[in-house]
Amino acid sequence: MSEHQFWFCLKHHTVEGEDGCRNADRLGPYATEAEASRALDKVEERNEEWDHDPDWSDDQLED
């Protein structure tokens, strides 16, 4: 990992360095500011993938 790390703050919706808000309120670390700025997009993409993953379908659960 690079010398500098970045987080996306969920409270302020900004990219922060190491001395930002508490970790419970942010996503990361990311290697670049650009990656951190896309954190919510990445979360949405992953959620969409998981929602449509046939291996994790709630429809397959037995009563």
Residue 37 located in a structural domain = yes
Residue 61 located in a structural domain = no
* pLDDT at residue 54, rounded to an integer: 84
Residue 62 located in a structural domain = no
Residue 44 located in a structural domain = yes
* Termini Cα distance of the chain: 46
CA separation for the pair 40, 49 (Å, rounded): 14
DSSP string, the chain: --SS-EEEETTTTEEE-TTSS-GGGEEEEESSHHHHHTHHHHHHHHHHHHHT-GGG-GGG---
Total-model pTM: 0.75
Residue 60 located in a structural domain = no
Domain residues for the domain of 11 are: 6-55
Query: Which residue ranges in the chain fall short of pLDDT 50?
Result: 1
User: What is the domain count for the chain?
Assistant: 1
How many other CB atoms are found less than 10 A from the CB of residue 33? 14
* pLDDT at residue 62, rounded to an integer: 54
Residue 43 located in a structural domain = yes
